[in-house]
Amino acid sequence: MSDPIRGQTAICGLGITEMGKVYGHDASWFAGESIRLAVEDAGLQKDDIDGLLVNPGITGMMGTGISIPLQGYLGLRNLRLLNHMNSFGATASAMVQYAAFAVHHGMANYVACIFSDAPLQQGGSAGAAYGGAGRRGPTGMASLMPAFGFYGANTSYALAARRYMERYGVTNNDLGRVSVTQRRYAVDNPHATMRQPLTLEDYHNSRWIVEPFHLLDCCLVSNGAVCTIVTTAERARDLKSSPAYVWGMGQGHPGNFPHAEVEVGTTSGATIAGETAYKMAGVGPEDVDICEFYDCYTYTVLRTIEDYGLAKPGDAIGLYPEDPADPEAELPAINTGGGQLSSYYMWGMTPISEGVIQARGSGGDRQIEKNDIVLCSGNGGTLDTHGTLILSPNAN
């Protein structure tokens, strides 16, 4: 049985800025552009926005990105709801969830949820943009892990991936199948950064980052912003663009594996979050048509597929063709815009934005015909935090 809130709220506006190596603008500028595009997409006026939820990105965490003062930059004077949130890659899902509860219970009418980031500097590398923030001379106990070469997400996810691969017999070639599949979708995505075709040979020839990850196992780093506007289903029906109705929501937060006694690589918060969202939506894994999953690494996609009950442990790779570069290969409806590996890295807003596009039926050449149930995930830390949204083109 579904929850009474199912289908009572919707994402009515979507704003996606230019993405990638876009220089000369800070995170606040990108945020302003994304809300302008989202308001235009919904057919609203800026003054209609009476709620603002902000996810700051890596630049915000370093004190140079967006936060609550973004309200003043955007000139939003009628806010009934304002907050700055950060559960890393799970934040975007959480923002939409809290916005949905707010509009459903009358706390606001139109809530803008914004992720904006601008870590890339002209002449600098993606590694410097992200990895550099974690190498600023920790002291005491915090210095022990870097002393042994353990730096940031690449290293922690490499350990998780290696554990998963050893347990289930998954190979690097299997990880490459995920990467190449998503590039196939990105070729048809006008928002994607990486649109040139990719082969398994290209994947294997890409340089090692930290074993078992090649470069093409790892997500992009992007400058840009995404804004979603959440309102009630009743209001959304009369607006300019087709709504993506929110059917299910959930969160699951197992914690950081060195501290939470979680065996690295063997589970994620998707298990708990998915159970909650499925119950709210009144659906199960067998009903899902399209998956938009957080794919900071190729391994993460396989882990997430299994934790949502879409495949048995170790069997997720069976959903992918042996050679996804083959034009005749049938691709799974997973990360249909190219994901963070090939389209753009806006933390949890990457899967949500493509989920909205697919639910609306506006995906062009990459549109999946059957789009009744779209499952979106957000993942933060090293599988520490998780958020789930289930979207649909149908109110009920």
What are the residue numbers of the active site?
Answer: 294, 345
3-state helix/strand/coil string of 194-242: CCCCCCHHHHHHCCEEECCEEHHHECCCCEEEEEEEEEEHHHHCCCCCC
How far is the CA of 338 from the CAs of 182, 341, 380, in angstroms?
4, 7, 19
Q: Is 386 exposed, middle or buried (0-12, 13-18, 19+ CB in 10 A)?
A: buried
d(CA 44, CA 46): 7
| Cβ–Cβ < 8 Å for 86, 61 | yes
- Report how far residue 2's alpha carbon sits from residue 41's, in angstroms, rounded to the nearest whole number: 30
128, 154, 270, 272: CA torsion to nearest 10: -100
Please tell me the distance from the alpha carbon of residue 83 to that of residue 286, in angstroms, as a whole number: 36
Length of the chain: 396
Alpha-helix runs per DSSP H in the chain: 27-42, 57-61, 70-74, 91-104, 126-130, 144-147, 152-168, 172-186, 200-205, 233-236, 257-260, 270-281, 298-307, 339-342, 349-360
Contact partners, residue 35, CB within 8 Å, separation at least 6? 15, 46, 49, 74, 112, 114, 227
Task: Quickly tell me which residue has 């042994």 as its tokens.
Answer: 148
